[in-house]
């Protein structure tokens, strides 16, 4: 078998067997298939797509035995939530300690920022002292002792995804249904999960722009998850506007800490609590050995209220502090946000007109935040943990001309003008109050 023949086959629209796909990804890990051939393969997949069978083969090749967390000795339902990526999406910083406080176990293999989207690992890395390079053994200990772990892909955990993630980012091949599905589901298959909630983002700031594309990705991942014996559902949520009031790493950690203390922006609350409710429902389905069903309004509220209790009484916050401590971070940072990285240059962005914010484009906001230093153009670039945007007014809010409605934070003042231009290109202000945005679009259940 030769890599060049397999690339040609995919380039010309052929389907690859499981063995052929393994040859490419394992070969890359072993050093017999160079990165440039893997990159060409990714572009061929991006252009030609993959059948469901090929996507499952790729997922399995990426999650091959030997790369899995061994949670066998840990009591309790193991559950995770994974998002397809968005702007301002910090929900796992709240959901992981919340689920742990409620007695569930949440292993979470996450990623760094991809394209214009943020990454949970970059967010965590902004906490002073906190280590993000952990071993599989440490992850297992954390899950046992704290109740959750959030770790990035390493040479040991998710090594193929680590490589593909970086190559996709650098070769404009991120937005592929097959590649997103395999990237996410290979990590989830490696976690030893009982249940999984997928947050599939739709809109300008997600990788799936249309609802139809999001539905197709959600169905594919839900089928892969359930096919592998993990009770899996997907919630399709809105990513046309950034989530919450912050975009950028330390800023999002600050917002998450406030949320863990019970202070949420309304859209962040709605999305986080809906996902929490589905996680609790799935955990019950595992314990009761039932198939997850559509939640009635009554049941949804009951689960949300149950979860809220653990926020209100400070249990979820305590778990987050415990996690920071276990990871070598400074737990004081959760109490004194002044200990988190601060930017030297702060600039308010003024509203150009009177009216209501009709649109705050998530992609433009993500791009502006990257320009300020919160994201990287290539995987080798450093990021500025303090950089980003605080959103004072959200879509639907009234603004007056010249009123500050967002604030930029950066240590690279030369980027401010360009970032403002990009951010404002995504803002629409109208005379009339816009209709309320739908945040939760659909739920995809097991087939």
The CA distance from 191 to 334, in Å, is: 27
Terminal Cα distance for the chain, rounded:
37
Q: Which is nearer to ligand URA, 118 or 426 (by Cβ)?
A: 118
**Residue showing the smallest CB distance to ligand URA in the complex:** 183
| DSSP letter, residue 78 | B
The CB-of-316 to ligand URA minimum distance in angstroms stands at 24
Only segment of 62-70, 97-105, 180-188, 391-399 that touches ligand URA (CB under 6 A) = 180-188
What lies within 8 Å, CB to CB, of 435 at 6+ separation is: none
The CB-of-81 to ligand URA minimum distance in angstroms stands at 12
Taken as a whole, the chain contains a residue count of 447
What would the DSSP string read from start to end of 168-231? HHHTT----HHHHHHHHHHHHHTTT-SEEEEEEEESTTSSB-SHHHHHHHHHHHHHHHHHTT-E
CA contacts within 13 A on the Cβ side of 188: 31
- For position 88 contacting ligand URA by CB under 6 A, the verdict is no
24 closest CA partner among 157, 154, 167: 167
Q: Which is nearer to ligand URA, 230 or 386 (by Cβ)?
A: 230
Q: Which is nearer to ligand URA, 111 or 375 (by Cβ)?
A: 111
Among 161, 199, 240, 384, the one annotated catalytic: 161
Only segment of 57-65, 177-185, 304-312, 421-429 that touches ligand URA (CB under 6 A) = 177-185
Please identify which residue in 95, 180, 195, 374 interacts with ligand URA, judged by CB under 6 A: 180
Per the CB < 8 A criterion, the answer to whether 161 and 114 are in contact is no
Among 83, 108, 176, 183, the one annotated catalytic: 183
Among 78, 105, 123, 187, the one annotated catalytic: 187
- For position 111 contacting ligand URA by CB under 6 A, the verdict is yes
Strand partners, 232: 196
Among 67, 81, 82, 116, the one annotated catalytic: 82
The CA distance from 370 to 299, in Å, is: 40
- For position 214 contacting ligand URA by CB under 6 A, the verdict is no
Is 161 part of the annotated catalytic residue set? yes
Is 183 part of the annotated catalytic residue set? yes
The CB-of-67 to ligand URA minimum distance in angstroms stands at 15
The CB-of-39 to ligand URA minimum distance in angstroms stands at 15
Q: Which of residues 58-87 bind ligand URA (CB under 6 A)?
A: 84-85
Q: Which of residues 359-418 bind ligand URA (CB under 6 A)?
A: none
Is 168 part of the annotated catalytic residue set? yes
The CB-of-64 to ligand URA minimum distance in angstroms stands at 17
> E-assigned strands of 32-180?
79-83, 106-110, 148-152
Binding-residue total with ligand URA (CB under 6 A)? 7
CA 298 to chain centre: 28
Q: At what angle do helices 249-260 and 266-288 cross, to 10 degrees?
A: 70
The CB-of-25 to ligand URA minimum distance in angstroms stands at 15
154: helix, coil or strand? coil
Q: Which of residues 183-202 bind ligand URA (CB under 6 A)?
A: 183-184
Per the CB < 8 A criterion, the answer to whether 149 and 324 are in contact is no
Six-digit token string for 73: 């000795």
69: helix, coil or strand? coil
Six-digit token string for 65: 């035995």
The CB-of-175 to ligand URA minimum distance in angstroms stands at 9
Q: What are the backbone dihedrals phi and psi of residue 50, each rounded to the nearest 5 degrees, phi first?
A: -135, 145
- For position 114 contacting ligand URA by CB under 6 A, the verdict is yes
- For position 152 contacting ligand URA by CB under 6 A, the verdict is no
Q: Which is nearer to ligand URA, 258 or 367 (by Cβ)?
A: 367
Q: Which residues are catalytic?
A: 82, 161, 168, 183, 187
Which residues form the interface with ligand URA (CB under 6 A)? 84-85, 111, 114, 180, 183-184
């Amino acid at each position: 078998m030769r890599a060049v023949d397999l690339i040609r086959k995919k380039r010309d629209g052929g389907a690859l067997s499981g063995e052929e796909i393994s040859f490419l990804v394992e070969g890359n890990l072993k050093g017999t298939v160079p990165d440039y051939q893997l990159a060409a393969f990714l572009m061929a997949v991006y252009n030609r797509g993959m059948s469901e069978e090929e996507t499952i083969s790729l997922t399995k090749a990426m999650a091959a035995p030997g790369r899995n967390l061994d949670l066998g000795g840990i009591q309790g339902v193991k559950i995770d939530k994974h998002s397809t990526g968005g702007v301002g999406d910090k929900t796992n910083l709240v959901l992981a300690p919340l689920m742990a406080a409620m007695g569930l176990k949440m292993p979470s293999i996450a990623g760094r920022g991809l394209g214009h989207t943020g990454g949970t690992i970059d967010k965590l890395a902004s906490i002073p002292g906190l280590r993000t390079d952990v071993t599989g053994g440490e992850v297992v200990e954390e899950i046992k002792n704290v109740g959750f772990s959030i770790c990035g892909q390493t040479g040991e955990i998710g090594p193929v995804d680590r490589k593909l993630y970086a190559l996709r980012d650098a070769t404009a091949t991120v937005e592929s249904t097959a590649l997103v599905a395999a990237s996410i589901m290979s990590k989830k298959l490696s976690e030893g999960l009982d249940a999984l909630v997928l947050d599939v983002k739709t809109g300008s700031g997600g990788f799936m722009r249309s609802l139809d594309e999001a539905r197709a990705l959600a169905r594919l991942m839900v089928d892969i998850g359930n096919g592998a014996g993990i009770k899996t559902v997907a919630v399709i949520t809105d990513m046309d506007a950034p989530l919450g009031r912050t975009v950028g790493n330390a800023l999002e950690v600050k917002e998450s800490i406030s949320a863990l203390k019970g202070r949420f922006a309304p859209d962040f609350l709605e999305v986080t609590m809906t996902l929490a409710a589905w996680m609790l429902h799935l955990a019950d389905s595992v314990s009761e050995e039932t198939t997850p069903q559509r939640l009635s309004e009554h049941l949804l509220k009951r689960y949300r209220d149950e979860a809220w209790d653990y926020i209100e009484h400070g249990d979820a916050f305590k778990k987050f502090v415990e996690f920071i401590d276990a990871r070598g971070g400074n737990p004081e940072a959760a109490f004194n946000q002044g200990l988190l990285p601060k930017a030297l240059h702060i600039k308010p962005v003024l509203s150009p007109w009177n009216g209501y914010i009709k649109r705050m484009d998530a992609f433009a906001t993500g791009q502006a935040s990257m320009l300020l230093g919160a994201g990287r153009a290539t995987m080798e670039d450093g990021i500025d943990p303090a950089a980003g945007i605080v959103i004072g007014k959200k879509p639907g809010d009234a603004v007056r001309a010249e009123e500050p409605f967002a604030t930029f934070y950066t240590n690279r003042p030369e980027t401010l003008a360009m970032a403002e231009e990009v951010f404002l290109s995504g803002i629409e202000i109208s005379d009339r109050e816009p209709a309320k945005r739908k945040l939760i679009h659909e739920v995809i259940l097991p087939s």
